[in-house]
Structure 1
């Protein structure tokens, strides 16, 4: 019974290091948007809706009635309150290449003898097999060779535009945004989602912001339908590949 438990634990041990069953079936999930506690240790709090709808104080410009970034003379058209909409411009053109090579060689040897052992070295030849030499009682040799190589080539290019909604305002004035866009063509549905934290001063006068100016950005572009279902690895095969210890 003990051997069976040990064998079962050895087979199930890779499950702790692998993804969950839900991730294997549904695919990876995006992490929730949150304030980076490691950089600024504070809890994310949301202002009440009543106070969030009040206009934020604007910095006055010297000898000018025009507010910085405003498109209108009397009103600032940029998103600044909960429920306001702004445009997110996503233009990702990233590439990465990594090449690693490792070679290791190790050789060791040891020789030991027992020329004197309390005067019993001559008697050991009677106990041990023939050919015993006290001067060369122990001799070991070992050699280890290890070679490994790896290469990663990655290229991503996405150019999209999506409208996002301000969902909450942080105590320092930064805004949490979230937007979803779905396009259906025949039996295929394409979905684009974006979420993150933006600064009001990063929003342009056209009420737009680039994805590189979004902190804690979560961008997902995918879909579901007949084509996606054919391209996706079957759930049973994905489970076997993820949890197989061999």
Structure 2
């Protein structure tokens, strides 16, 4: 009874959370509460300083990011780079197997010093030692399976360097939220990249991200309708059929 009360309470709390979005669009997460913003501000970025002379501000050899000779690729905590996601995967698998087997055994003793004849007289009517054992068996098996799947996704998202590992690998994370009417689209990407894999345009392909975690989904009225109700989800877990 106690467990049932806890389940009912959880369902009620969830329903209250859903009721908060009635009649209004989903809330967008504040950018200043993201891990990317924290990486940009804590600790503060150390910007290169000029020598204080007026001519140093116009020097082509300045260490600032606006310099013509500066490397604009992300290399340190707080830097931003672009992640290019172009997934076009296709998998097709077809398997079939067949197996058959047949066997037959026949044993009889028609003559053995007159013993089979004497034994036949004591056997039930129709039984004879001449056809003592006659057995046959046959089995067959046939199986077939097919898998066909295709995933296609083309996206671009800006990611921020959260940290630099001791071996120089960059830990990146990026998020993007777009709200259209009452539906919010969410895109998140995270993983680890080598600075040498970042192109001169400060971009990196998703297949060069180690431990890549890419999530593309949303929340809102349309997504809510597409999801089964909580009662149905619980029934799918509890019911054995």
TM-score (norm 1): 0.59
CA RMSD, aligned part only? Answer: 3.6
Partner of 2:186: 191
Q: Does 1:101 align with 2:96?
A: yes
Q: Is the CA contact 1:71–1:205 (under 8 Å) kept in the aligned structure 2?
A: no
Q: Contact 2:102/2:139 (CA < 8 Å) preserved in 1? A: yes
Q: CA deviation at 1:212?
A: 1.7
1:150 aligns with 2:109: no
CA distance in 2, matches of 1:184, 1:125: 96
How many residue pairs end up in the alignment? 181
1:79: which partner in 2?
Answer: 74
* Deviation by residue 1:132-170 (Cα, 9 ceiling, x = unmatched): 333544433222222222222222211111111222322
Gapped runs of 5+ residues in structure 1? 1-48, 56-65
Q: Distance in 2 between matches of 1:224 and 1:138?
A: 72
Counterpart of 1:58 in structure 2 is none
Give structure 2 stretches of 5+ with no counterpart: 1-41, 48-60
The answer to whether the Cα contact below 8 Å between 1:125 and 1:132 also exists between their aligned partners in 2 is no
* Aligned counterpart, 1:177: 172
**Match for residue 208 of structure 2?**
213
Alpha carbons 1:71, 1:206 under 8 Å: kept: no
The normalised TM-score by structure 2 is 0.60
The yes-or-no answer on 1:201 pairing with 2:201 is no
Return closer, same or farther for 1:207/1:143 CA change in 2, 3 Å cut-off.
Answer: same
Please say which of residues 164-173 and 202-211 is displaced more in the overlay. Answer: 164-173
Distance 2:102 2:149 in 1: 38
